[in-house]
Structure 1
Amino acid sequence: MEKTDALFLLVKSLTKSEKRQFKLYAGRLGGNSEKNFIALFSILDKLEVFDEKQILAKTNIKKQQLSNSKAHLYRQILVSLKLNPIHRNAKMQVREQLDFATILYNKGLHKQSLKVLDKAKTIALSNEDSNLAFSIVELEKAVESQYITRSLSSRADDLISQSKDLGEKTLMLSKLSNLSLQLYSMLLKKGYVSNDKDFDEIQTFFKGALPAYDLKSLGIIERLYLYKAYLWYSFIVQDFVGTYRYAQKWVDIFYYNPQMKKTNPVFYLKGINYLLESLFLIQHLTRFRSTLNFFEEELNNQNFLLNENTESLAFLYLYLNKINLYFLEGNFNLGLGMIPEVLDEIENHRSKIDDHHVMVFYYKFASLHFGASQYEKCIFYLEKIIKNKQLGMREDLMCFTRILNLVAHYEAGMDQNLEVLIKSTYKFLMKMNELHLVQQKFISFLRNLSNIYPHELKNAFKELHRELKVFENHPYEKRSFMYLDIISWLESKIDNVSVESIIKRKSKEVYK
């Protein structure tokens, strides 16, 4: 049985209306071969998991025909979806018009072809799609070269000028989108800079790869990719105020150009998510709360949630940030009540959410349980991450999962194997090249806990607090406190109160 068969996943992603439309579309095709793929569609729709044996038993498809039948069905479903008005957007309309114009051109109907191309170009330019507009102008040039009129001279000059301008815009867009993608890849692969050498390397790369630009002459999409590139760079160098600044610029593009919410809904959702993430990182509770409220209101309007992909992203970003609000406020026990709802939603959107984001949710759940002093449940979710050997995750999340696991075991009184756990964590961090000063001091402290007399514990916690406090705003060490608020945990041990009460107190002091 195969749960990840591409055709099976496509069939299972269809809504009731899409299935109904496909059956109507397929019914018009006729023929014996079509009957086979309709039967294949029906059995796949009923199956819980892909099962080749059941398909062969319940259809007239022979084993040697199955591969071709699946490919045929896959294509016909996509054609049916393409015809569905809900999936049609400006880009698809332009591409369709471009296809029509090409057919008319090949039939020698040059005037009709040019008329269609002019209409398509207007739509492309109004949506700032310079790539498609450039393709249209290139075809216009080919048609005009055969459709001879007295106005060809001035027309040729116009087309050459348009081609040049669009070519330059396309080149700039390509450079900015390439830079944005490279930086995003670096962030996922290496995470944040950890020393001056890393910082100098990324700064040199960024300055060298960033093309010269005049902001006023950039179109909306070029500016969007420019801000994305600056945002990834700010993330990598841990300039979270800069991250906030460019996330806000990103979202402002959609605020001043609201039609883009429908043409680029994924970018809009991602922009708001990074705005919230940056506000979380700079611990700006009031603005975080107002931005989260705005985001939820936007989602309730649902004017731009056009498909399952955007709906899944909306769930992902909304609930991750709702949990982050509990962290900022210190409402860990209150946050626990959301976990069953989130788990249900994860299951509903499972085929659209990658394992990495599921593990991020698990880390958030573990942190909520830790803040609520429910250490065994904290360990339960951390072990789900640690045991997932097939997962390619950001190294920083994998490392802090193990550090939080150490503290949770200590707090749960499960210290019989703590020494073994400390050694394995130390080796893991060394292997990942993630052992920073904060981590070294913290692991050394845990290792020596067994040698400290009970009446000396409070002074030991105070000493470690004093040593670590100086790193809270360190350019490279501060990220150690993003995933695990060690300072607040130490203060809870010193004052003999819960972590939750410490963070609540801090929140009230800052935002009273």
Structure 2
Amino acid sequence: MLNNKLDSLFLLIQSLSKSEKRNFKLYSTRIKKNKDAKFIKLFEIMSKMNSYQEKKILENTSISKIQLSNMKAHLYKQILISLRLLQHITTVENPDIQIHEFLDFAKILYNKGHYIQSLKFLKKAKVIARSNESNTILLELVEFEKMIESQHITRSIHSRSGELSLESKELIERVQCNNDLSSLSLELYGLYLKVGYVRNEKDKIFIETYFRTNLPKFDIDKLSFYEKLFLYQAQVWYHYIRQDFIMCYRSSCKWIELFQNHVKKKKVSPISYLKGYHYLLDTLFYLNHYSKFKNVLEQFEKEVQNGDIVLNGNTRVLIFMYKYTNRINKHYMEGTFSEGVKNIIPSLFKDLKKIYPRLNSHYIMVLYYKIACLYFGSGDNKNTIRYLLKIMENKEKNIRQDLQCFARLLHLIACYESGLDENMDRKIQSAYRFFIQMDDLYIVQKKIIHFFKNLGSLYPHQMKGQFKKLRDKLIKYSDHPYEKRTFLYLDIISWLNSKIENKSIEMIIKEKFSINHSIIN
């Protein structure tokens, strides 16, 4: 699997559909002498590989080891060219490709001295750009048009120069607003990926100040589709980081409604649409609003099944992640962990095998944590530990700190539950040091670690009393502005209740779900 991730050509070939492979062969063999070309032989053999094997390539082709690097680079470029040509057919999904094509034609005609014809293609490109709110490229088109009008006699109307200047000025303002909102959205998302939720008053003040000072002034009624999209994204991540899930729910609803009011945009910006669904489902999960969560998840899966969402390399990754993480979340809410392990895990790993090379470390670690929690709820501590160790042993710097921290807490609990407590002191010290290193040791974490430190000195008849004491201490922090984030990652209270009542965690959560669901209904 490691080789797959390192070889970009192999990954590109693996991501090609049957029609894309067929198109490449037609494109590359359009010249007769190319039929026996080395790069085509390389394509054919790599298409049949399940994993990248350089030795197999050298044995089955006339390519030498010295030639291989250049041959792979050439093949990579040829595949991209064939894909680019194929993409021109799907201009509804990729209007920017047609815009660039018209711009290219306009430049070619301009260089040939055909200024009027060049302006005609610019006009066509502007119509598409304007209808798709592609303001950045629209500004480029206007600037090119201004240059033609200012330097050459085109017989256009006298007032055209003034119209172009005004259009350019308005576009610059529009692009600036769009840029401010998209930058704010991106920065907030980056902060969340790095540290997760706010941990203290300092974090809270920082994020609130950052959001307030970087949010541009706007009139919501005058904002374009993409400006509204970036605004709602920024609001969602802002409220998400602050753990204000009610406000996050409201903003994520607006995000989805925006696409539902502009149905064509689902095809143009499917990634943003999918992310909107993800945050809507995530906030409903944290708000424990089961009926609404279930309805939205069914709606999401129905849209995927009906083909309402464009399928490509990027969307397949997100659909995979959001489908499985939310199916797992549904089992969390119901307390049906064993059912989840039986019904979800086999298909999850079957699909994961197909898509693994395209997943980044962040997605993989989030998935491992979800899987670990599912196993933990089902009582399978061995597999819980197995997937938590995959997170804990990951040394990449871009892995979320909070996920690393809470994986260590659950690891301590799973080790205790499985009886693997012979090195418990060392594991406790390791977890403690990691929390200190990450500057993430707060009251709830301290109390849990302190509890495990003292377990070894207790007699069996004292255990239940200590579990009760810890539960009573922790419940006080379940609604604390900063301490409550621990309970979002780990249902520690249900685990403690299971020890106190001598029941499985699964049974405890099922009973809680049954009571809450009957009250709602």
TM category (shorter chain) comes to over 0.9
Instruction: State the partner residue of 2:497.
Output: 491
Assess if the C-alpha contact under 8 Å between 2:180 and 2:216 holds in 1: yes
Instruction: State the partner residue of 2:290.
Output: 285
Query: Counterparts of 1:308 and 1:273 in 2: how far apart (Å)?
Result: 18
1:344 is the counterpart of 2:350: yes
1:194 is the counterpart of 2:196: no
Write out aligned runs for 1:126-205 (5 A).
126-148=131-153, 151-205=156-210
Change (3 A) 1:34 1:118: farther
Q: Which runs of 4+ in 1 moved over 4 A?
A: 30-34, 85-88
Instruction: State the partner residue of 1:49.
Output: 51
Change (3 A) 1:416 1:2: closer
Change (3 A) 1:374 1:53: closer
Runs of 5+ consecutive residues of structure 2 not aligned to the other structure: none
Deviations 1:64-119 (A, max 9, x none): 44333222211111111112256541111111111111111111111111111111
Instruction: State the partner residue of 1:355.
Output: 361
Q: CA deviation at 1:58?
A: 3.4
Instruction: State the partner residue of 2:31.
Output: 29
Q: CA deviation at 1:386?
A: 2.1
Instruction: State the partner residue of 1:255.
Output: 260
Instruction: State the partner residue of 2:429.
Output: 423
Which of 97, 106, 111 matches 2:111? Answer: 106
Q: Share of identical aligned residues, percent?
A: 47
Q: CA deviation at 1:485?
A: 0.5
1:109 maps to a residue whose letter is H
Assess if the C-alpha contact under 8 Å between 1:195 and 1:476 holds in 2: yes
- Give the count of matched residue pairs: 512
Instruction: State the partner residue of 1:66.
Output: 68
1:8 is the counterpart of 2:13: no
Deviations 1:233-274 (A, max 9, x none): 112222122221211111111011010000001111111011
Change (3 A) 1:8 1:149: closer
Q: CA deviation at 1:41?
A: 1.5
Query: Counterparts of 1:149 and 1:21 in 2: how far apart (Å)?
Result: 41
Return 26-35 or 117-126, whichever deviates more. Answer: 26-35
Runs of 5+ consecutive residues of structure 1 not aligned to the other structure: none
2:21 maps to a residue whose letter is K
Instruction: State the partner residue of 1:319.
Output: 324
Which of 363, 372, 377 matches 1:371? Answer: 377
Return 123-132 or 411-420, whichever deviates more. Answer: 411-420
Query: Counterparts of 2:106 and 2:491 in 1: how far apart (Å)?
Result: 61
Which of 479, 482, 492 matches 1:473? Answer: 479
Change (3 A) 1:406 1:78: same
Instruction: State the partner residue of 1:435.
Output: 441
Query: Counterparts of 2:100 and 2:437 in 1: how far apart (Å)?
Result: 49
Query: Counterparts of 2:123 and 2:298 in 1: how far apart (Å)?
Result: 43
Query: Counterparts of 2:408 and 2:222 in 1: how far apart (Å)?
Result: 49
1:380 maps to a residue whose letter is R
Query: Counterparts of 2:222 and 2:237 in 1: how far apart (Å)?
Result: 23
Return 110-119 or 265-274, whichever deviates more. Answer: 110-119
Q: CA deviation at 1:226?
A: 1.1
Assess if the C-alpha contact under 8 Å between 1:355 and 1:391 holds in 2: no
Instruction: State the partner residue of 1:294.
Output: 299
Assess if the C-alpha contact under 8 Å between 2:239 and 2:247 holds in 1: yes
1:73 maps to a residue whose letter is L
Assess if the C-alpha contact under 8 Å between 2:409 and 2:431 holds in 1: yes
Q: Secondary structure at 1:211's aligned position in 2?
A: coil
Assess if the C-alpha contact under 8 Å between 2:28 and 2:34 holds in 1: no
Change (3 A) 1:109 1:330: same
Q: CA deviation at 1:473?
A: 0.9
Query: Counterparts of 1:463 and 1:399 in 2: how far apart (Å)?
Result: 24
Return 352-361 or 44-53, whichever deviates more. Answer: 44-53
What is the CA RMSD across the aligned residues, in angstroms? 1.9
Write out aligned runs for 1:369-408 (5 A).
369-390=375-396, 392-408=398-414
Assess if the C-alpha contact under 8 Å between 1:87 and 1:306 holds in 2: no
Q: Secondary structure at 1:475's aligned position in 2?
A: coil
Assess if the C-alpha contact under 8 Å between 1:81 and 1:87 holds in 2: no
TM-score (norm 1): 0.95
Instruction: State the partner residue of 1:209.
Output: 214
Query: Counterparts of 2:151 and 2:33 in 1: how far apart (Å)?
Result: 42
Deviations 1:137-184 (A, max 9, x none): 111112222453565321112211211111111111111111111111
Assess if the C-alpha contact under 8 Å between 1:121 and 1:136 holds in 2: yes
Assess if the C-alpha contact under 8 Å between 2:185 and 2:234 holds in 1: yes
Change (3 A) 1:6 1:309: same
2:137 maps to a residue whose letter is L
Change (3 A) 1:507 1:184: same
Assess if the C-alpha contact under 8 Å between 2:29 and 2:35 holds in 1: no
Query: Counterparts of 2:423 and 2:155 in 1: how far apart (Å)?
Result: 89
Q: Secondary structure at 1:194's aligned position in 2?
A: coil
Q: Secondary structure at 1:349's aligned position in 2?
A: helix
Return 498-507 or 15-24, whichever deviates more. Answer: 498-507
